[in-house]
């Protein structure tokens, strides 16, 4: 399955990595590793999480308070957001409307 991460999701992840790295050296890298592990899991199990009311699927990280929001279009996994789970729910939801 082809994977595409939207620029906004990539920037969100990089901002979170930088924040955690400032808090404690190595913590940002742990976040990055956890996201990568979850993206790999999603690639292999993309239809396991239920489709949410907004028409997307979501996987929560285990250690950090973030989730990965994504959709599947044909054979492509589109990562829409790397979102903090306690801030502005679904602020990114309109991003999925731009993907065809």
User: Rounded CA gap, 63 and 51, in Å?
Assistant: 23
User: Rounded CA gap, 88 and 55, in Å?
Assistant: 18
pLDDT at 89: 81
Q: Is residue 25 part of a domain?
A: yes
User: Rounded CA gap, 11 and 71, in Å?
Assistant: 18
**Locate tokens 């999603």: which residue?**
42
Q: Is residue 98 part of a domain?
A: no
Summary mean pLDDT of the chain:
95
The residue segments making up the domain with residue 72 are 2-88
Q: Is residue 22 part of a domain?
A: yes
Q: Is residue 43 part of a domain?
A: yes
Q: How many domains does the chain have?
A: 1
Pairing of strands 76-84, 66-73: antiparallel
- CATH number, domain at 27? 3.30.2310.20
| In the predicted structure, residue 100 carries a pLDDT above the cut 80 | no
User: Rounded CA gap, 57 and 32, in Å?
Assistant: 20
What's the pTM value of the predicted model, to 2 decimals? 0.93
Mean pLDDT, range 67-92, rounded to an integer? 94
Give the tens place of pLDDT for each residue, 2-11.
Answer: 999 999 999 9
Q: Is residue 97 part of a domain?
A: no
| In the predicted structure, residue 86 carries a pLDDT above the cut 80 | yes
| In the predicted structure, residue 46 carries a pLDDT above the cut 90 | yes
pLDDT at 99: 87
pLDDT at 73: 93
pLDDT at 1: 87
pLDDT at 97: 87
């Amino acid at each position: 399955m082809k994977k595409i991460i939207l620029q906004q999701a990539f920037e969100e992840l990089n901002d979170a990595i930088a924040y955690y790295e400032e808090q404690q050296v190595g913590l940002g890298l742990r976040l990055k590793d956890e996201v990568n592990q979850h993206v790999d899991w999603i690639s292999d199990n993309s239809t396991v999480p239920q489709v949410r009311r907004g028409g997307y699927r979501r996987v929560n990280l285990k250690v950090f308070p973030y989730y990965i929001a994504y959709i599947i279009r044909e054979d492509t996994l589109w990562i829409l957001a790397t979102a903090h789970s306690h801030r502005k729910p679904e602020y990114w939801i309109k991003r999925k409307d731009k993907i065809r």
